Structure 1
Amino acid sequence: MGRKIGGLFFNTKKRRIAAKPCMQEMISFLSCLSQNQMNDERCLHSKELLKTCLDDETAKSKKKGGSMNYHLQRLNKKMK
């Protein structure tokens, strides 16, 4: 990935931070499952914590603005 010839291009994959949201909740839920022989009825508290964390993260990611490449393409068209 890099710059396109004849146009502007911003590599968005290179700039992303490798954040792992809800990893702690996932680990606690999986360890609870392994301790209880895959019986998720005994791990309801961990399961609810994981579900609320995932719901919060999906709500955060829904707000979406224009991508950087979209705005660079618009800028390039106006400059010509």
Structure 2
Amino acid sequence: MGRKSGSLYINPKKFGGGTQQKACMKEMTAFLNCLALNKNNDEKCLKQVEILNSCVDELKTKPKKPWGSINFHLQRLSRLK
């Protein structure tokens, strides 16, 4: 389940990677807080739903990185040895 000892590995979170997973976290938190304050009545949270939907739609239109992750390429390099 773990990594092999001696293999190369870079934590992408330290280098600014992994931001796409957290891109709409503020909008999701605002929506969930609104639901909690209004006792799960989502009719009162339409503004937060629209903001969250627009954020998710923006993520769909952003192009993904054409190259794989840095760890994928490190693994390829280690196989060449």
**Which TM-score applies when normalising by structure 1?**
0.58
Cα root mean square deviation, aligned: 3.1
The SS at the match of 2:68 is coil
Taking the TM superposition and a 5 Å limit, the aligned residue runs for 1:41-56 are 41-56=43-58
State the identity as a percent.
43
Name whichever structure is richer in helix by fraction.
Answer: 1
Distance 1:15 1:46, change over 3 A: same
Q: Distance in 2 between matches of 1:33 and 1:16?
A: 34
Distance 1:58 1:69, change over 3 A: same
Q: Distance in 1 between matches of 2:40 and 2:75?
A: 51
> Residue type matched to 2:14 in 1?
R
- Structure with higher Rg: it is 1
Taking the TM superposition and a 5 Å limit, the aligned residue runs for 1:1-80 are 4-5=5-6, 8-12=7-11, 15=14, 17=16, 19=19, 20-60=22-62, 63-64=64-65, 65-76=67-78, 77=80, 80=81
The size of the alignment, in residue pairs, is 75
The SS at the match of 1:71 is helix
Contact 1:36 1:42 in 2 (8 A): yes
> Residue type matched to 1:11 in 2?
I
